[in-house]
Structure 1
Amino acid sequence: MPLPSFAALGIDDVAVAVYRHVVAGAGVADAAGTAAGPTPEAVARAVHLDEATALAALERLRSLGLVQRSAGGEGYGAVDPRVAVPAVVAARADALVAVRAAVPALGALFGGGRRPHEADELARVVVGQAAVGDWYSRLERRATPDFGACGRPPYVVASNESTQRVARGRGVRWRAVYTVASISADGSRQGVHRLGADGEEARITHDLPAKLAVADRRVALVSIGHAPDRPEALVTESEPLVAALHDLFEARWRSALPVPGTPGAGRAAVDWASVAARLAASSSTMTSPSGVATPTPDQEARLAMRPPTPAERDLLALVAAGATDEGIAGQLGISSRTLRRRLHSLFDELGASNRFHAGVEAARRGWV
């Protein structure tokens, strides 16, 4: 029977193979009728190793108390594994407990070196990608009942799905509001394929005034400067300020549109044309004090623009339907190069940087 990996005990696969051979040979009698343990030379032949490697493995196992050397001889015999292995596991567990106990002291050392005189502050300003990213990761990892974030480019840290997965595993409700720019397909932090992954509840809105994260309604981080090379953020544990920032998140959450889940596991592909149309409709009018919906200045300006040409309308319809570039080119009877040129011109006309953004702008203009 093959043995499992003993890497957690600091034993590599070579030593495991040696250990299995020694255990299997326990109790084998020599010509005089006494138990004889295999020598390093015999182990090397049996396990197909050189003698020096076999000897090093035997001595490693001996240092852990799993084998013992014959008195006055060169042979090695196994200590009863029913006793020896649990003893090694218990010793390693005790060592891990000791390491865990050192975490508070290490944390104090880390904090003292990087953030002097901040221990008693309820609010602090952090500057730079490392500092802002460090605090954002702290909030992600300390969240217990809930985590809420408002995200918009430029991003300081890359998306970490494993953090969300672990948080979801401990029951954290994970919510995020993204901007249209957040889901562009040009390498920005949040791709369309990741929205809704690992149980995240995602919503989308046109724009956000700031980036924000709130963990457990106890600590919050809000951006106060968006320069990519020198981001700034305020970290606060002030109850009134955290409550106000949490209310801001909830308000943005209520006004944003739900993002459908990612394809797979029985889910259909995301109909981004529908999302774009609903997003445009949700922000195309505003309510006057009398309660009557009136066009916004932005809507009035767009309505005054020219209508789409038949060619533009056909191209938008195919893009909104989710057709691939090859499919669109074949449907229109044009080359891929011509299609790219037409898409580029259409995006320029709509002031869009990607297909989804183009769908939003086209819906706001009434082109689709």
Structure 2
Amino acid sequence: MLQGLGMSGTAESVYLQMLRDRDAGPDRIAEALGLDEARVRDALDELSRLMLVEESWAGDDGLRPVSPEVGLAALLAREQAEIARRNQEIEEGRVALARLVSELQNVRKGPDVELLETAEEARDRLATLIGRCTHELCTFVPTRATSSRALESSRTLSRTLLERGVRMRTVYLESIRNDQATWDHATWLRNNGAEVRLAATVPVRLQIIDQDHAMVPLNDTESGSGAVVMTSPGIVAALMALFTQAWRTATPLGADRRRDEDGLSVQEHELLRLWAKGATDEAAGRRLGVSLRTVRRLSSALMERLDASSRFQAGARALDCGWLQPADLS
């Protein structure tokens, strides 16, 4: 009933029991509800954060419930203020996106940008750039599966680069574990001298050649897209910084699958972050490179652990209990 206001089911039960029995302590509440006393105390901490309980007037270090007329009205007002804040952020994001699109249209016309309209043009230009690479090739691969034709072509180019002593660094999605052909190719790269790491999500398909050329898709599709090649030092440096940040936090291929101190895998942590930012299951699946069925399986386990009834509530709970930090939402 009250979970739509960000309250867990356990906290709601404890709050209602306190309203029924205002003199009850944690032990009596636990007995009445058939709960462990530790869960009751956790619920009391949650109610305290929601300002639905306060110190007892009797001065006995106990807690008393704030009346629903006061406490729930204030909670509702805070939720409405939060919704208004998020709506404002969304609107600001729309304005920023419109400005960025406008600027990109101007950038495409500049001397430091080469526009490749078709996928064929993009593949040919990338092959030419890689053929001239002498120092380093950095790559993001934001898809789980790659076609056999693309893998064969990539392996031919990669073998040539590695034989020339070019440093190759590639960040794949963690979900390539579910596609044997892509996994085998990544393993081949590593075994032949390339550096390969895995991340829960990868921001964009990207190739940076010798830190002086960068190629990104013309639009946000997995295949069949043209590309933009940029040589502006400022833009290439910014994309290189993006790559470096992702590289530092990614897991080397072959390392044990990491879980953080809260027991979360990298995919689970990223799914929580996407929820907190308002992503749908479909959008989260695309970012993670996994099926909707896999997202729902992960979702069910996470929501059970967080005692949450909605994706947004789970994201909020993850922030509340420290599984996510404010910086994760930037």
TM-score grouping bracket, smaller chain normalisation: 0.3 to 0.5
Greater relative contact order: 1 or 2 (C-alpha under 8 angstroms, separation 6 or more)?
2
Q: Whose helix proportion is higher, 1 or 2?
A: 2
Q: Name the TM-score, length of structure 2 as normaliser.
A: 0.44
Larger Rg: 1
- What TM-score, normalized to structure 1? 0.40
